[in-house]
Structure 1
Amino acid sequence: MMTPRRSVLKSGATLLAGAMASGATRALAAPPTPQPTPIPTTPAPGRTTDLNSRRPAPGDRKFTSPAVEERIRQVSAQVADPELAWMFANCYPNTLDTTVWMGTVEGKPDAFVITGDIPCLWLRDSSAQVWPYLPLAKDDPQLQALFNGLIARQARCLLIDPYANAFMQDPQARTNLSWALHDQTDMKPGVAERKWELDSLCWTLRLAAGYWQATQDKRPFDELWANGARAALRTIREQQRLHDHGPYAFRRPDGNATETLMLFGYGAASRKVGLIHSMFRPSDDACTFPFLIPANLFAASALKGLAKVAAEARGDTALARDAMALSLELDRALLDYGQMAGPDGNPVWAYEVDGFGNGFFMDDANVPGLSSLAYLGAVPRNDPLFRRTEALAWSSRDPYFFKGAAYEGIGGPHAGLGMIWPMSMIIRALSSDSPAEILGLLRSLKATHAGTGFIHESFQQDNPGEFTRSWFAWANSLFGELIIDVNRRFPTLLSQKL
């Protein structure tokens, strides 16, 4: 069964404005029903790209931040390539322009941030979508309201069900995602999809720690947040499965192996070694082996962030102590069970293992993956183990590394073979210290937006006009983050036309 995340738009086809992606996409309703930014038809080969703004008109934008608008002006002025500057100005504010619904709950801000073409809040996506705005939040009260509202919304989501990956805007509503209607799991009101993905909880902890570090604002770290954090910590502990298989099980009766779990919904067998079981990857695809190493590394880092926020923002020594203890357990287990021998005999991080000595190497463009570990702060960027792992992931040793006539990058099972995810190229550039490599990646990103001015989920390795998801806010935010990062670290790269 095809989901909106897999619907492919062909080169030369008219992109739908005011609808939910392609004709294969379900029409989904959430109160209020979001509508995508109108996007024009992909230009024919040889046609000059129209560089008029693709943002909604100011009165149609969902959220506006003066600090973000000023950052767009500042950075765009430093980008000599007109098309790259145009892409930045379209992409960087896309989350704010199109995916944020602000409200209040009990007199406090509430922010519901949809993923784009699916009108639901993914814990992972919503955290990642707003992450590039964190450096501006200290001096922008409107951004502070957004972050306060999203941190509170995520805490309420965790208290509904910490095993869910996606949520409805109405906490009393049943899912209207057609592919989730018949899932065999404990679906609760307010849950849109209930795939247990360890990284979902890690992203919420990372966002809280990032906001605290950027602003020192204690307002979001109230008892609601603490209860949500405790629910996350309890769930991560449960999924160590040291005594039993825990309360989570999931089966989807659609016949697609990436959408369901074996062994009555509990996943593949594992040896109890202290690592955390994750039944699904950040791509929302099922894990092959239950210990997803990038997610466990992310968890070890995110738990340290939780300990810092709990101690500094709340003086909650018990929560801080529990989070740090679990983080240190993960550090030890990862050293013992998270690595494998590379082709030259030197160790690299494995992608998934089972604790019995079985595992395999691959990478997936979604974050966390092996290539994104330094970006997340889960490993030092100059760590030789990480750099060996990253190099192997960007090679033919990775079955999901795709190389076409002009472009190369990492994909994954989710969108299919030969489908490169621009997200992988962005992460590669954010993790790179080589100006020449970054320049090449910027050229590829500029050449593969298919005339839309936005970053897509994936594109066919030999035909960027064949792509998935014309409205994918996370990828757009990440591209904006990249341009700001390059402007900070290597400004001369942006002072030339690509």
Structure 2
Amino acid sequence: MKKNISVSMNQLVDEVRGQLGDDKKLFTMFKNCYTNTLNTTVKRMEDGTTYVITGDIPAMWFRDSTAQLRSYLLLAKEDVEIGDIIEGLIRRQYQYILIDPYANAFNEAPNGRGFQTDQTDMHPWVWERKYEIDSLCYPLQLSYLLWKNTGRKAHFDEVFVKVVHTIIDLWKTEQDHENNSSYRFQRENGRPMDTLTREGKGPLVVPTGMTWSAFRPSDDACTYGYLVPSNMFAVVVLRYVIEIALEVLHDKQLAEKAGLLAKEIHEGIGSPHTPKNYIWHIALAIQGLTNKDRRYKKEILEKMKNTDGGTNLMHEGFHVDDPKQFTRDWFSWANAMFSELVLDYCGYTIKR
């Protein structure tokens, strides 16, 4: 999957080098992390779509793949090839949603790899079928951000409309999981957080207005079915859909459908996946990206720089007392989030 880094990417990397001054380690880490996705995880397919593995696991997650390419939006308006790679990923995500909107990770081809022994409605295309609300949020987010950052609208086609209706209908079904949902998931001989109780149905819930989620973004089972942060994310992307429907598609009915669900969810509104005493690099990146104080962003970058375990790359989690003890030595999502924070610190901000 080795790629030639684009001219625009090299130019941006050089600009960041100037912004970071004498901090050679921070720059080296940024360069390694920022180019890591394109160098090691991106594959252009014959149909024009883009398949993006998460790193050391040869499968594509909706969440990871979006985060892996999101910081490349800064290049996508002027660099047509980068823009095509991102649009290709979006179209690949659409294909997968229409295959199974409950799945969280997919194979490159219908090869039957992954967790095929799980007790759920598995499919040869599906690597894992842990239903997570945010898995459906991320493709909508990337679709919206590609439009806002490049002006591209071609991906807002009839397939996009079908995908949006599929997502909305699923979220409406899962507003009353107990009575309306056919989703079940069980995994034998694994961790308790890798399976659902009550023969795969999960803990008993009653309607609240929010939409139900089986698992968290960490791929761990929810203790309570209504995951508030993911429901908040759903409201945000549904509002993106309203804007797209009105300004691009001129589809008032779709806008109303998305608006009604957003209203219902909005009115209704820690991870055991991480080993004890471990900290996520992704969580640190989010701390920096969501704070407006540039000095605070630099403090976070210093923490990330000093906890790379001597690899000049990011990891999933690191031990609070010894950064050389870490999980996942090849984790592109964390690398991408670190890169996005460095770019944000240097003034390169993705339009929202």
What 5-or-longer segments of structure 2 have no aligned partner?
none
User: How many residue pairs get matched?
Assistant: 348
Corresponding position: 1:467 with 2:326:
yes
Q: Deviations over 1:391-426 (max 9, x none)?
A: xxxxxxxxxxxxxxxxxxxxx311311111111111
Please report the RMSD computed on the Cα atoms of aligned residues, expressed in angstroms. 1.7
Residue 285 of structure 1 aligns with an amino acid whose one-letter code is D
What residue in structure 2 maps to residue 258 of structure 1?
193
Q: Deviations over 1:92-149 (max 9, x none)?
A: 12111111000232xxx21001111111110110011111111221111101211221
1:60-99, aligned counterparts within 5 Å? Answer: 60-61=2-3, 64-80=5-21, 81-99=23-41
Q: Deviations over 1:215-260 (max 9, x none)?
A: 2212112212221222111111111117714121101112421000
Match of 1:100 among 39, 42, 45: 42
Match of 1:415 among 244, 253, 274: 274
Q: Which moved more, 1:91-100 or 1:287-296?
A: 91-100
Deviation at 1:313, TM superposition (A): 2.7
What residue in structure 2 maps to residue 453 of structure 1?
312
Counterpart-to-counterpart distance in 1, 2:152 and 2:345: 28
Q: Is the 8 A contact 2:277 2:320 kept in 1?
A: yes
Counterpart-to-counterpart distance in 1, 2:294 and 2:89: 35
Counterpart-to-counterpart distance in 2, 1:489 and 1:219: 25
Match of 2:301 among 442, 451, 461: 442
What residue in structure 2 maps to residue 343 of structure 1?
none
Match of 2:131 among 186, 196, 209: 196
What residue in structure 1 maps to residue 343 of structure 2?
484
Q: Is the 8 A contact 1:101 1:113 kept in 2?
A: yes
Q: Secondary structure at the match of 2:142?
A: helix
Residue 71 of structure 2 aligns with an amino acid whose one-letter code is P
Q: Percent identity?
A: 39
What residue in structure 1 maps to residue 182 of structure 2?
247
Q: Is the 8 A contact 2:176 2:206 kept in 1?
A: no
Deviation at 1:489, TM superposition (A): 8.3
More helix by proportion, 1 or 2? 2
Match of 1:270 among 205, 223, 248: 205
Counterpart-to-counterpart distance in 1, 2:244 and 2:72: 19
Residue 99 of structure 1 aligns with an amino acid whose one-letter code is T
Q: Deviations over 1:340-373 (max 9, x none)?
A: xxxxxxxxxxxxxxxxxxxxxxx3xxxxxxxxxx
Counterpart-to-counterpart distance in 2, 1:231 and 1:225: 10
Residue 18 of structure 2 aligns with an amino acid whose one-letter code is A
What residue in structure 2 maps to residue 390 of structure 1?
none
Q: Secondary structure at the match of 2:103?
A: coil
Distance 1:461 1:101, change over 3 A: same
Q: Pick the structure with greater CA Rg.
A: 1
Q: Secondary structure at the match of 1:104?
A: coil
Corresponding position: 1:137 with 2:76:
yes
What 5-or-longer segments of structure 1 have no aligned partner?
1-33, 35-59, 335-362, 364-411, 491-498
Corresponding position: 1:310 with 2:245:
yes
TM-score under structure 2 length normalisation: 0.95
Counterpart-to-counterpart distance in 1, 2:273 and 2:189: 15
Q: Deviations over 1:431-451 (max 9, x none)?
A: 223344333222211111111
Counterpart-to-counterpart distance in 2, 1:278 and 1:186: 17
Deviation at 1:307, TM superposition (A): 1.9
Distance 1:242 1:249, change over 3 A: closer
Match of 1:225 among 141, 160, 184: 160
